[in-house]
Structure 1
Amino acid sequence: MKNLISVVGPTGIGKTRLAIDLAKHFSTEIVSCDSRQFFKEMKIGTASPSEEELKEAPHHFIGNLSVTDYYSIGQYELDALEKLEELFKQYEVAIMVGGSMMYEKAVIEGLNDLPEAHIGNQKKLEEILNSGGIEKLQEILKKLDTEYYDVVDIQNPRRLLRAIDVMWQTGKKYSELISDSQASRNFNVIRVGIEAPREELYARINKRVELMMENGLMEEVKGLTEYRDLIALKTVGYAELFKYLDGEWDLGFAIEEIKKNSRRYAKRQLTWYRKADDIHYLQLGYSDQDFQDLIQWIDKEIKSK
């Protein structure tokens, strides 16, 4: 049976580097499950792999969509599984990487047979978003399902819209609907991650936001002004700078809000991953020997499955 190594962890922890190193070791390719990196216009604000990193190992689902495209998690599941089937014809091992928890879950476990988006609900929720802001959607979700509220990226309206829509349609909590794995896969899954003390992680996130600004995030956001009402752009790094460009916030405050919201998202990711008992962790700043030890552990896992 073929093997999928899934690299997980919170934002800013160094997943991209580990995934590339693993891909080079196993002479294979990488499938991204970072849903924000799908959009080609959002390279800087989503910390997409650099051109140099993309040359080190073949990547899939990086910059493959436009912000104007509609793309659902269900479609991603189908596309990713199709890509893996293609890769497994050539390789014994493939790598998946990304911090979008539900997208990883869709690939390794499958999602419940959830209803398609309800057009009426979506329109109503988009009206609420545009009139009351993302805070109003957060408030609705928290009332309907506190468990999902505690782990979802609450700054990502796409996630909120989907969960509320499904709950309105089914009358059931979204956390309950997605809790059970639905599909058996014809490949083994080996999950590895990177962890660090929270203070160190938060410091890395703060520094990364500063680097994004140095690397041209403001120019990227300005270039997307005409698309600002699209759901894809109502997200961390973009929503805050649009408020600066509108004159609502000064620049220093906007940057601090990006840092704060990024840290909040990382905290939610940690809550999600903490519930899993099948992730083998490396410590941040791992040595070459630590990496070799990881390879030995992976090899044993592959042989034992």
Structure 2
Amino acid sequence: MSSKTLISVVGPTAIGKTRLAIILAKHFKTEIVSADSRQFFKEMHIGTAVPSAEELKAVPHHFIQHKSIFEPYSVGDFEKEAIAQIEKLFQNNDYVVMVGGSGLYVDAVVNGLDEFPQIDSKLRDSLNQKLEKEGLECLQEELLVLDPKYYHLVDIHNPHRVIRALEVCLTAKKPYSSFLNQKRKKRNFNSFYVGIQADREVIYERINQRVDIMIEAGLLDEAKKLYPHKNLNALQTVGYKELLEYFDKNFTLDFAISEIKKNTRRFAKRQLTWLRKNKNILWVDFNTEPKVILEKITNQLKTNPHA
């Protein structure tokens, strides 16, 4: 059995994952791999809550703003690159810390990606045309009928994710969710999860505060610079898509900000739904002292190093 361990820090958005990841990386004298798909893109800084300059300086981070929104980058691409980077880090470290709120990306590294059927490009084109002509709501309703289970897991406001699920459902003639959690790939390292939790009211309040801070930090200007590229997949995400609606004069600014808060709260709820499927997570309260968290982690690693 491998003596190398990947420690994944997970939890809902705005809960303090970056802070804990840095504490763990310092303790284990290692580096951090980011699995936050929103933070991959260099043009999107404020709205994705990229770690601060001080945080990035405290511990080396990988996969932070390493791509452009104009470059196609899939979860499969990330899986390959992240595994290569992790194996490289394990040459000099017994531990590597991974952090991120994108459950699919974390799971891709730990377990490998599920195998899906080959999709006909004509089907994908027809779904994209349907999106253009009839809107996202029509596709959401179709997904609810074909795969209600995945409908309640996926970010249904992300057209790329909805179309991906629909094309699999329509091609395979069975639900997208039936392809998830297939046989795990064998990795050359052990995996350990630590999750940060809090009462729903606390999570929602932290989200609301973070959005206000983002607006004060200049999110509106950042989104305005990206407006000419509003149709790119990378921008179909919370914090940007609502402001793009404002620039299109479909929303008032106050309503757009309230929508960012509401959609981020919904996103956090879906993150927790995804994470609760994983019975191997060591959950800690968001305001637990770092020293106590480290004790819990080290004790569990001693008693169950191959979690």
TM-based fold match above 0.5 = yes
Which of residues 295, 299, 302 is equivalent to 1:300? 302
The one-letter code matched in structure 1 to 2:203 is L
How many angstroms apart in 1 are the aligned matches of 2:303 and 2:119? 39
Q: 1:247: which partner in 2?
A: 249
Residue by residue over 1:92-135, the C-alpha shift from the partner in whole angstroms, topping out at 9 and shown as x without a partner, is 10011111111111111112222455422332222222333332
Decide whether the 8 Å contact of 1:4 with 1:93 is kept in 2: yes
1:34 is aligned to 36
DSSP 3-state at the match of 2:65: coil
Asked whether the 8 Å contact 2:198–2:285 carries over to 1, the reply is yes
- Do 1:13 and 1:284's aligned partners in 2 also have CA atoms closer than 8 Å? yes
Q: Secondary structure at the match of 1:40?
A: coil
Q: In 1, distance between residues paired with 2:167 and 2:57?
A: 40
- Of 42, 49, 52, 2:51 maps to 49
- Please provide the CA RMSD for this pair: 1.6
Cα offset, 1:268, TM superposition: 1.0
- Please say if 1:153 is aligned against 2:118: no
Partner of 2:173: 171
Asked whether the equivalents of residues 111 and 181 of structure 1 are also in contact (C-alpha less than 8 Å), the reply is no
- Cα drift, residue 35 of structure 1: 0.9
Match of 1:203 among 198, 202, 205: 205
1:185 aligned partner = 187
Asked whether the 8 Å contact 1:190–1:301 carries over to 2, the reply is no
Determine whether 1:269 maps to 2:271: yes
Equivalent of residue 287 in structure 1, options 279, 286, 289: 289
- Structure 1 residue 142, shift from structure 2 partner: 1.3
Greater Cα offset, 125-134 or 147-156: 125-134
* Contact 2:5 2:190 (C-alpha < 8 Å) held by counterparts: yes
Query: SS state of the match for residue 8, structure 2?
Result: strand
1 CA distance for matches of 2:106 and 2:34? 9
In the TM superposition, residue 298 of structure 1 has moved relative to its aligned partner by 4.5
Aligned length: 305
Quickly say closer, same or farther: Cα 1:303–1:269, change in 2 above 3 A. Answer: closer
Q: Distance in 2 between matches of 1:173 and 1:302?
A: 35
Bigger shift: 194-203 or 283-292?
283-292
What's the offset of the Cα at 1:296?
2.6
Q: Flag as ranges the 4+ runs of structure 1 deviating above 3 A.
A: 115-118, 301-305
Say which of 213, 220, 223 aligns to 1:221.
223
Normalised by the length of structure 2, the TM-score is 0.94
CA contact (8 A) 1:138 1:160 kept: yes
- Determine what percentage of the aligned residue pairs are the same residue: 50
Alignment gaps of 5+ in structure 2 = none
**Post-superposition shift, 1:63?**
0.5
Q: Which ranges of structure 1 fall in alignment gaps of 5 or more residues? A: none
| Residue pair 2:30, 2:95 contacting (<8 A) in 1 also | yes
Q: Is the 8 A contact 2:223 2:240 kept in 1?
A: yes
